[in-house]
Amino acid sequence: MRIGVDTGGTFTDCVVVEGGAVKILKVFSTPDDAARGIAQGVRQLARTGKTAALEIVHGTTIGTNSLLERRGAKVALVTTAGFEDLLEIGRQNRPSLYDLNVLRDPPLVTSALRFGVNERTAADGKILQKPSPAELKRLRAQIQKSGAESIAVCLLFSFANPAHEMEIARALIGLRLPVSVSHEILREFREFERVSSTTINAFLAPRMGAYLFNLGRVFADRSRHSRVEKRDSRDIPLRRTSARVYVMQSSGGITTAERAAREPVRTILSGPAGGVVAAASLAKRIGIDRIISFDMGGTSTDVCLIEGQPRTTNETILGGLPVAVPVLDVHSVGAGGGSLARIDSGGALRVGPGSAGAVPGPICYGRGGTQPTVTDAHLILGRLDPDYFLGGTFKLDASDVEHRFAEFIRRAHSAIANPVALACGIVAVTNANMERALRLISVERGYDPRDFSLICFGGAGGLHAADLARSLSLKQVVVPANPGAFSALGILTSDIVKDASHSALLRVPEQYGKQQVMFRKFIRNLRERFQRLESRAHAELQREGFNGQRAKSDLRLDIRYLGQAYELSVPFTSDFPARFHREHEKAYGYSRAGRPIEVVNLRVRLAIPTPKPRARHHAATPHRPLARPLLNRKPVWFGQRLWNTPLYDRDQLAHGTTFRGPVVVIEYSSTTIVPPDFVACVDKLGNLVLSQNAR
């Protein structure tokens, strides 16, 4: 049995596919120990299984939260003498151009924990000065005395020749501390980004390692691990179960828990990546080429523009720190169902990025929350029904929400008239925050939103999708089945992926006259380099227990015009120069066919396919009456008026069913709003498709 698990700020979503049917379960996250929430969900799903063998495929926010909250290990940074302060100097980019008093976040490593080694490697990989045994002994003693909990090693030009990094790592093994070396984390040029990524990895490694060890212990077979002390027998979901844990990477593929513990920097966008993978797969099944994935959970909203395949990037900033490992090009904002409302010093209503999380959660959860949230606002407006939340298994407290909203207005001395007006304001501000995120990944990058469909998921996504589609004139909104656990389904169905890269910095010969022969030799040289890179990646997959021969290869080149400071990624083919010129024209509006180009990085992506659930087609019953799905009718606020609105049970909506808004569609994991100016239909895959009414 394979179970997909997505741990969010409010809920932990668990998904299993049996016989083509998707079963989901949402449980409250346990921030003090995420493994408890996961064990609770897996235990309940696994009870119905017929096998004792478990594979847990996990999307985690441990790395993201640790980095944003600066709760990680005490790191010792080892670098080439004279470059100890590179991590603090950075690129000297001003976060606020005209702010003379701007305060930068402190570096992850203090100056007292940055150590220089007298060694030198040239840009071409030639060894100029070796570190002496006496110096390595001194370095080891200094780090041992410093109280460091983790070590990052990043030497100048080690991407060209990592010999000294390997020598230093061997010298530090006796300290029994996790050691992150840059040639394993990111074997690419650009010193600051490489040292930043390596340091982040070291910063996260002890906490991620402890978390994954604890998670593995929770699901461990007692007979095999009888010597391991268990904290609580209730943490063991199946007495006779052995399980293997896999972790979702930010690049859109899974890896072993062991590798994730060694290289946690590759998991910093683990959860959002699952949603993007699932959205791209759904778009392919329903024949849509251009989509925007919209994932609104309890804490944040993640959006990603996709044309065909999801795009990866190596230029991510998280918590003010550059991360240069491959990640899916996802943009996140602090807007979710648990986002907290407040009145700022100027009297304006603000929502987020602070969140109520799972504890205490929104007011309506009755778990101690007192500050209005987006979820509470929807309850005030009638868009959430207190009796049908989580399939009726959890009743929302509507009376306390009314009281707290009135109290919030009174304490803030606000001009807001009443709780309904406050709720409308909270929804409007939240929509504005998410609309800015959607415009950033579309309009600001030269894309017309009118050419795209919105694939909406997450527990709160369906409550806002239609409003955003109206604002941006999107083609349509597609709400998949089980949207509240859609990211967990994407995590479950993701392929096993190994990414490898290497900086080359090779000038490309021209392709005319006598240079044509040189170009053909250049292509052969690139193929040989790719073969070596592929061989190393295959070997690593074999060591991790996978059949590397089943892996499919994707070879790409990072290319730029000679003298440029940025690159574009194109597939490695014999006509890659022409492809680069076309991509440059598309991205920047111009190209220079006669200008020399340079291959900067070689990238290899190996993917081993995993089992995928079959798409279940539903027989059309277009004339089926809507009386059966009707759960209730109630007044719901849309705009400035109340509408008598039907509440439909989505599980009872058959293929071919079409209806006009206003309607509230309820299901176990989410609620979808169909406003008065929208029409909705159910397609053959069970997706709910919303489009603006032409009337």
For the chain, what are the domain ranges? Answer: 74-177, 496-608, 630-692
Report pLDDT for 228: 35
Read off φ and ψ for residue 315, nearest 5 degrees.
Answer: -130, 65
* Confidence (pLDDT) at 247: 94
Distance of alpha carbon 337 from alpha carbon 460, whole angstroms: 6
Pairing of strands 2-7, 53-59: parallel
Question: Which amino acid, 568?
Answer: L
For position 281, what pLDDT does the model report? 93
Residue 44 CA to residue 42 CA, distance in Å, equals: 5
DSSP state string for 390-433: GGGTS---HHHHHHHHHHHHHHHT----SHHHHHHHHHHHHHHH
Rounded distance between C-alpha atoms, residue 109 and residue 77, angstroms = 7
Main-chain phi, psi angles of 363, to 5 degrees = -55, -40
**What number is the average pLDDT over the span 392-400?**
90
Please report, rounded to a whole number, the percentage of residues in the chain having pLDDT higher than 70.
93
Task: Using alpha carbons, select from 517, 331, 322, 341 the residue that is nearest to residue 421.
Answer: 341
**So what's the pLDDT on residue 549?**
80
pLDDT digits (tens, 9 = 90+) for 617-646: 555 555 556 767 889 999 999 988 999 999
pLDDT (mean) for 550-561: 94
Could you tell me how far CA 57 lies from the centroid of its own chain? 15
Q: What is the mean pLDDT of residues 6-11?
A: 84
Q: Tell me the CATH number for domain 496-608.
A: 3.30.1490
pLDDT of residue 9: 77
- Identify the pLDDT of residue 615: 61
Confidence band of 506 (pLDDT split at 50, 70, 90): very high
Tokens of 392: 């009726």
Quote the radius of gyration of the chain (alpha carbons, Å).
27
pLDDT for residue 231: 38
Q: Report pLDDT for 234.
A: 34
Query: What are the CA-CA distances from residue 387 to residues 391, 397, 580, 631, 643 (Å)?
Result: 8, 10, 56, 11, 19
Residues in the chain: 695
Dist CA 172 CA 181 (whole Å): 12
Torsion on CA atoms 416, 422, 425, 426, rounded to nearest 10: 140
**152-162: string of b/e by CB count within 10 Å (b at 16+)?**
bbbbbbbbbbb
Extract the tokens encoding 96: 């606020």
Q: Which of 367, 344, 365 is nearest to 354 (CA)?
A: 344
Nearest-5° Cα angle at 56, 267 to 359: 70
Share of the chain above pLDDT 90, in %: 64
Helix (H) or strand (E) holding 274: helix 270-286
Q: What is the mean pLDDT of the chain?
A: 88
Give, as one character, the DSSP assignment of residue 532.
H
| Both structure tokens of 327 | 């990640």
